[in-house]
Structure 1
Amino acid sequence: MIDAFREALSRAQHEETIAEFPAGTHSAADAAEAIGCPVAHIAKSIAFRSEEDVVLVIASGTNRIDRKKVSALIGKPVKPAAPDWVHEKTGFAVGGVAPIGHACPVITVVDRDLLSLTPLWAAAGSPMHVFRTTAEQLVTMTSATIGDIRQA
């Protein structure tokens, strides 16, 4: 799915900033260690389920997501999504879910805490690929709703 992501990145007129880390970037901590940046600068993508809709939450690597806040922000309940369902719906495996390039429409929410961090690093379609971006580019590319979705 790295190719689908690369095409989506090009369509979004975002520069090619994809980097590969063969040891993997499955978690925010793994990605931060591989890149050499603070964990907060990892824009982790977590897919949730709202009936048959994919709700993609992009949050700072240091933040835990409050599903009640996400539900309130989008106006419908969200629940955890099984990895097989995420892969089937988005085309991406958990650990490599990119912010764009999905096989289906997604509802995207961006963690307000990301807005003050630069650069950001996000999954690029596989658990071994990331790309460098900014919060502004991320919000623009995804047409995201911005919100306070961090657990207190």
Structure 2
Amino acid sequence: MPGTQTETTLPASAQRVQDHLHQNGFACTVFLLPHSTRTAAEAATAMACQVAQIAKSLVFRNLDTNQPVLIIASGAHRVDITKIEHQTGLRLGKAEGTYVKERVGFAIGGIPPVAHATPLVTILDTTLQSYDQLWAAAGTPHALFRLTPDQLALMTGGTWLEVAEQVGS
């Protein structure tokens, strides 16, 4: 891929993602990009894909257990917490940056779907199943990797749910 570097020059957090992928049988390659991919729009521009193909990883706090919950949503969506709570019985709250870094092991803006500090309850946006190819963060705001919806489900053990906020609601 032009303008990218692969695993031989990855920062430690991106290398951790690459190692996790390979150790778990996924042939995905982490790419390091010269420009930020912190937002779904930036990532889509960098990868010349639709914003909806960006699998953005959002961490929330389970208000009952104080454990992190990972929601992997299409970059084109705002997540509807109430909808998720109704489907799962979870009570979700905002997770601050310090909480995310300590509990998940990655900073906001580069949270990958895998290689977390501890196993996470994971919810996957059903919209992502509409695409043959997705892109996900790989540990830094400059690293991404390509995957399929099937790979996403296998690598995360996540549950597919409708998570998108309805436009006009």
TM-score normalised by L of structure 1:
0.96
Provide the C-alpha distance between the structure 2 equivalents of 1:128 and 1:74, rounded to a whole number of angstroms.
Answer: 33
Q: 1:88 aligns with which of 98, 102, 106?
A: 102
| Partner residue, 2:22 | 10
Match of 1:111 in 2: 125
Which amino acid in 1 is paired with 2:108? V
How many residue pairs end up in the alignment? 152
| Alignment-derived partner of residue 81 in structure 2 | 67
1:26–1:128: 8 Å Cα contact kept in structure 2? yes
Contact in 2 for aligned 1:54/1:105 (Cα 8 Å): no
Match of 2:52 among 40, 47, 56: 40
> How many angstroms does 1:39 deviate by?
0.5
Q: Calculate the TM-score normalised by the size of structure 2.
A: 0.86
Q: CA deviation at 1:105?
A: 1.8
Q: Give the aligned residue type for 2:160.
A: I
- Kept after mapping to 1: 8 A contact 2:28/2:147: no
CA distance in 1, matches of 2:87, 2:139: 26
1:72 Cα offset (Å): 2.5
Match of 1:49 among 51, 55, 61: 61
Cα distance, 1:74 vs structure 2: 2.8
| Residue in 2 that maps onto 1:143 | 157
Q: Within 1, Cα distance between the matches of 2:98 and 2:44?
A: 26
Structure number with the bigger relative contact order (C-alpha 8 A, sep ≥ 6) is: 1
AA partner of residue 71 (structure 1): E
Larger Rg: 2
**Same amino acid, percent of matched pairs:** 39
SS of equivalent residue, structure 1 residue 93: coil
Amino acid at match of 2:51: V
Shift of 1:118: 1.8
Post-superposition offset of 1:65: 0.2
Q: Hey, what's the Cα distance between the residues in 1 that align with 2:83 and 2:152?
A: 20
Residue equivalent to 1:120 = 134
Structure 2: segments with no counterpart, 5+ residues: 1-12
